[in-house]
Amino acid sequence: MASSSSSSDQQSFVTEKPQEEAYEEKHVHEVYQQIASHFSSTRYKAWPVVKRFLTELTPGAIGLDVGCGNGKCLPVNQNVFIVASDRSENLARIAANHQPHSVIVADILNLPHPDSFFDFAISIAVIHHLSTPDRRIQAIREILRALKPATVEAPGGKVLLYVWALEQKTSRRGWDKGDQQDVMVPWVMTSNPPKNAPSDQPKVFHRYYHLYEANELERDITKAGGRVLESGYEKDNWWAIATR
């Protein structure tokens, strides 16, 4: 649990799991429901590594975009078919406009997809929202489960994971190695406030993030039973391509 959480030292009657779920519900899911359209207007382009990964896919490949947000990765390749999913119904509705793909509401830890089927998956800026190491590893395991395993004739399905880096001292946030990894990040909604909001007061929402340090994403993938094929750093983020 994040050290910034007030509930981390509380002993309660509920088991650990619902408590973590409730934490993410409040500090991740509800926030995205609230900020969906504003968030969407600021996220309009896929990052270079994501673009390359999607562009190089074989036409006709079937894949997943887990935690698709507003669907900004969906326009990159229209020769593949993507079943995109998000926890936020508001974001899923925005993402649903991208043809020829399809969008559903689902939880990364309980994906409604068959085992061992998909040619590829992406999960961009998602697993850093899960609030314990165990849940982040479970999320990776759940995506790997859905990927096609390698056979003698063909390589297996591949997933591209992308997470926010702790090492980003040149960014606006300025975090760096040695800083606290579990943080609450404000989202300031300045334009287009809801009609009933007080005028001129920017609304501030806080989202929970786990900032990944160097090699941590690769470690989590290995713990989830995956094999890292390639990894790197791109503009304040760590990324890795993995297979089963």
Partner 1 sequence: MKLITANFLTCAVKGCKASPASFPLHFRDAELELQELDFQPDFIRNIVPRIDWHALQIMANELGFPKILDKKPEGDELKDEQILKELHRLLLETHINEGKLTCGNCGHEYLIKEGIANFLLPSHLV
**Residue 55 · residue 77 · CB < 8 Å:** yes
- Is residue 81 near partner 1 by the rule CB under 8 A? yes
Q: Between β-strands 237-243 and 227-234, what pairing exists: parallel, antiparallel or unpaired?
A: antiparallel
Sign of CA dihedral 202, 164, 110, 147: positive
- Is residue 96 near partner 1 by the rule CB under 8 A? yes
Q: How far apart are CA 53 and CA 241, in angstroms?
A: 9
Nearer to partner 1, 19 or 231 (CB): 19
Q: How far apart are CA 15 and CA 4, in angstroms?
A: 20
- Is residue 78 near partner 1 by the rule CB under 8 A? yes
Number of alpha carbons in the 13 Å side-chain half-sphere of residue 156 = 21
| H or E, element range at 144 | helix 133-146
- Is residue 100 near partner 1 by the rule CB under 8 A? yes
- Is residue 25 near partner 1 by the rule CB under 8 A? no
Interacting residue with partner 1 among 83, 121, 159, 160 (CB under 8 A): 83
Nearer to partner 1, 21 or 182 (CB): 21
Interacting residue with partner 1 among 4, 19, 40, 102 (CB under 8 A): 102
Write the burial class of residue 187 (CB in 10 Å: 0-12 exposed, 13-18 middle, 19+ buried): middle
Interacting residue with partner 1 among 112, 194, 202, 225 (CB under 8 A): 112
Interacting residue with partner 1 among 1, 62, 228, 229 (CB under 8 A): 62
Residues that bind partner 1 (CB under 8 A): 17-18, 21, 59-60, 62, 78-79, 81, 83, 85, 87, 89, 92-93, 96, 99-100, 102-107, 109-115, 117-119
